[in-house]
Each structure stands twice: as C-alpha cells, then as structure tokens.
Amino acid sequence: MKLEEYLKNPDKEKLIDNIFSEIKKIQKDYEPFITISEKESREELKKKIKDREFLGIPISVKDNICTKGIKTTAGSKILENYVPPFDATAISKIKEVGYIIGKTKMDEFGFGTFCLNCAYGIPKNPRGVERSSGGSSGGSACLTSALNFPHISIAESTGGSISCPANFCGIVGLTPTYGLVSRYGLIDFASSLDKIGLMGKTIFEVAYGLTKIAGFDKKDSTSINKKPEDYTDHLKKDVSKFRVGVPKEYFNRVDEEVKKEVWRAIKKLEEKGVKYEEISLPSTKFALPTYYIISMSEASTNLARYCGIRYGETKELKGNYNEFFSGVRGEYFGEEAKRRILMGTFYRKAGYRDRYYLKALRVRRHIINEFKEMFKKFDCILSPTMPIIAPKFTDIALLSPAQQYAADFLTVAPNLCGFPHLSTPCGRAKGMPVGLHIIGDHLQEGKVLQLGSWI
C-alpha cells in the first residue's frame, strides 16, 4: 500500500503488526539495515496510536543522523558504540507522525558512490542482487525499493548520495535546498554541502516527508528562515507553462541506453506542454574536481574530532599524543576515510590552500552563477541522474578510486550549488532503472516536485 492511500484511512494497528516481520525478511534478502530498531515496543506504539494526530508511519533513517537511544554509526567502526542522547531536529519533527524502524547502511561518513565503503556490510540492489544499490545512502534506497508498505526514508546528500541510490534502485529521491532542513544532529561529512533529504516509492512520499522535516532551526546557523509550506500541493499542477533547459554537457560520457530513456521522458513532458531548449553549462567540467577538493578538505577537518578522546572508540592511553591518535584513527577508520583525510589535509596545507581549496571555492561560485543565469529563463534544468545503470559488484571491483569518483560527474554540480534536485525513475535499460534528474533554483522545490509528478 502506498503512503498516500494509507493516510486517507490509516490502519495503524495492522501496519505495526506487520512492518517488523516484513523488514526482517527484507534484511535477510537485501541487508539494508545496520540496526533494526524495536526500541518502542509494539505495546508502547499501540498506546501511542490511540492519539488521532499520530499517524504511525514507519520511518527509516540513514545512519549518520542522530536518533535518541538508537545506535548511530555513520557506517564507521569508530562510532560502533555511539548511542546519541538526543534526536536530530529532522528526526524529532518526523516523529510527530511516525516511528523509527531502523538505521540504514551507508558508505562510511558518506564517502562513496556504491555503498561498498560501509563497515557493516553491503546492501544488495533489490532490482538485481548482483548490483550495487548506489551510495552513499544505499541502505535507504535498497529498503525503499524492496518495501511495499507505507514508509518514509530520511537520507542525506553531500554530492549526490540521495540521487544516485534512488536512480540505481528505481525510486524517488529528493535533495532539498541547502539549509531548508536543519543539519542539527547530522554527523558532518562536508558542512557546506551536507543536506538531509528524502527517498520514497512515490513522489508523494518525498513531498509529504519534506513538509514535515523542513523549517527554520536556531540550532543550525545555516538554517533558512522561510515560511512553511505544504509541498504536496504542488503535485500534478499544470506544467504547460514550464520552460526547461537541457544542458548538452550532461549527456557526454553517458550510456546510450540511459540517454535514450531520458530523452523519451523529456519528450513526454513536451506532450504536456513543457517547452525545452538545449543549453550549455560549460563550467560543468570543473564541478567534479571542485567537489572533491572542497568535500575532502571539509571532511578532513570534521573527522579530526574522532581522536579517541571526546568521541567514538578509543584505546589504552599509551605513547605520545601522535602515537595515541594515530593508533585509534589507524585502527577504526576505513580505507576510504583515511584516503580522504590525507587528501583533504593536503589541499588545506600551508602553501597549498590558495592553490587548491580557495581556488575550488572560487570555481564553485562561478558554477553557481552560471546556473543562476539559466534559472532566469528556465523553471528547471533536466539531465540524466547517473551516466550508467546500477553496476555489478564485480565491475566496481575493477575501478580505481578516481574512476569511482568520476561516476558522480552529473550529481555534484547541483550539490555544490545547494540547489534542490529530484531523481525520478523514467525508464529502463537492460532491465534496470534509469533516473531523470530535475534541478531547480534555490527554494524552488515546489517546481521540481510539480514537474517530477508528471513523470
């Protein structure tokens, strides 16, 4: 049953009776969870649902978002035993309508595109178990794709971690404008890029979920103070006056079959009256290195706090401080986290800061301006979400880290700019889902959802 139907006449009790056995089956087949949470016992939940306001919606949460009393690891061994004493703001908001069923797998701290860098195992794509669910929110997408019950999945994106797995698993993923959803209680990867967002089987679920979690929060200094709105109001509204831009650079190095399906979707929108124009965004080629320089630089400072003293795992206090810190970090960080700490530190090093990090910030501004110019003329910009269908694990094993990073070249720009974007399934290639990426100007999630609801 879809969430939209459930909300019309919610049989909360029946859902509570069935959801946990269902997700345990899914866990056996596809392994989306790090933790399944039955913290609120069925009896407690049954008491809670007596309250008419409480809708009893099952919620899954990416494991880098703090949940009170439920282990939160960010996919890392260094946080293996961390149980937050508080809820992230987005979680306390969504708990008004639902309860948490579990914490989903992710690449360690969000470092990855295929969910292979999780310290707690790899989720399998329900559309083909020999394939990746995408990263870094692979567990969220895997679960959402496999579960046929009303459900909302809360995920997070730094450079494409919602869109990519949503594309690979054939579901909808919404990344809101930077600052629209509070980051309070989100474990940082790159603070100027991290955004909490949503995944759903339908566009209604993400629009509904966003309505619940968006909003100003004084605990997050980058939070936007904006009047609340009901994002579901935008769905299925007429789009015949819409103008969209289709950047040619976003079709280079994209699989032919993927391109074909994306164009088919664009033509379908044209039948609804949407006017499209081919455009050029020449700075696109700089987006990937810009993203990796900024995100690794910020990650390397954010991860400095895991040193065995204040947060996370520790060891016996021995040797000088360098030996102690290196001992803890060497043991508990995974390979990709170490790579990013080393590279990020290099980019910020005295003498290199101007050459790499500060230059990347200037390029980022340039990319933003280029998009902003386009948004004067177009309501949305369309492209494929990922250049490929979900790859097989055996094929990913052949890729170098740099080749893996390169797979993100379509998703990094909207993330660098903090623009809202939606990935929605728009066809199939070799039996696997293809995603259409709909990008909007800041705070235009309404338009993005409006257009997406026609696909």
Torsion on CA atoms 213, 219, 221, 225, rounded to nearest 10: 50
Q: How far is the CB of 53 from ligand GLN (least distance, A)?
A: 34
Establish if 113 lies at the interface with ligand GLN (CB under 6 A).
yes
Give yes or no for residue 208 binding ligand GLN (CB under 6 A).
Answer: no
CB atoms within 10 A of CB 257: 16
Taken in order 227, 230, 231, 233, the sign of the CA dihedral is: negative
Name the active-site residue from 132, 133, 136, 140: 136
Spatial CB neighbours of 403, under 8 Å, sequence gap ≥ 6? none
Which residue from 10, 56, 110, 440 is in contact with ligand GLN, where contact means CB under 6 A?
A: 110
Closest to ligand GLN by CB, 153 or 295: 295
Active site residue 192: no
Q: Give the nearest distance from C-beta 64 to ligand GLN in angstroms.
A: 9
Is residue 104 close enough to count as binding ligand GLN by CB under 6 A? no
Rounded to 10 deg, the angle between the 359-375 and 284-302 helix axes is 130
Verify binding: residue 165, ligand GLN, rule CB under 6 A: no
Rounded to a whole number of angstroms, the minimum distance from the CB of residue 406 to ligand GLN is 10
Q: List the 98-104 sheet strands across, edge first.
A: 33-36, 98-104, 57-62, 152-157, 195-200, 172-175, 421-429, 432-440, 380-384, 243-247, 275-279
Spell out the SS3 assignment of 49-103. Answer: CCCCCCCCEEEEEECCECECCECCCCCCHHHCCCCCCCCCHHHHHHCCCEEEEEE
Count of chain residues binding ligand GLN (CB under 6 A):
14
**Any contact of residue 419 with ligand GLN (CB under 6 A)?**
no
62 in active site = yes
Least distance (Å) from ligand GLN to the CB of residue 194? 8
Q: Are 455 and 426 in contact (CB under 8 A)?
A: yes
Q: Is 408 in the site for ligand GLN (CB under 6 A)?
A: yes
Q: Does 87 bind ligand GLN (CB under 6 A)?
A: no
The residue range among 93-101, 119-127, 151-159, 307-315 that interacts with ligand GLN, by the rule CB under 6 A, is 151-159
Distance CA(141)–CA(156), nearest Å, equals 11
Q: Nearest approach, Cβ of 136 to ligand GLN (angstroms)?
A: 4
With H, G, I as helix, E, B as strand and everything else as coil, classify residue 185: coil
Using CB under 6 A as the binding rule, whether residue 157 contacts ligand GLN is answered as yes
User: Judged by CB under 6 A, does residue 158 bind ligand GLN?
Assistant: yes
Q: Minimum distance between the CB of residue 253 and ligand GLN, rounded to whole angstroms?
A: 16
Contact 297, 303 (CB under 8 A): no
Geometric angle at alpha carbon 49, from 48 and 55, rounded to 5°? 120
Let me know if 297 is a catalytic residue.
no
Is the omega angle on the peptide bond into residue 223 within 30 degrees of 0, that is, cis?
no
Closer by beta carbon to ligand GLN, 290 or else 450:
290
134 or 425: CB nearest ligand GLN = 134
Q: Is 251 helix (H, G, I), strand (E, B) or coil?
A: helix
- State yes or no: residue 76 binds ligand GLN (CB under 6 A): no
Binding status of residue 112 toward ligand GLN by CB under 6 A: yes
Contact 175, 412 (CB under 8 A): no
Q: Is 409 in the site for ligand GLN (CB under 6 A)?
A: no
**Nearer to ligand GLN by C-beta: 213 or 386?**
386
State yes or no: residue 435 binds ligand GLN (CB under 6 A): no
Site for ligand GLN in 258-317 (CB under 6 A): 295
Name the site residues for ligand GLN (rule: CB under 6 A): 110-113, 135-136, 157-161, 189, 295, 408
Q: Which sequence positions are flagged as catalytic? A: 62, 136, 161
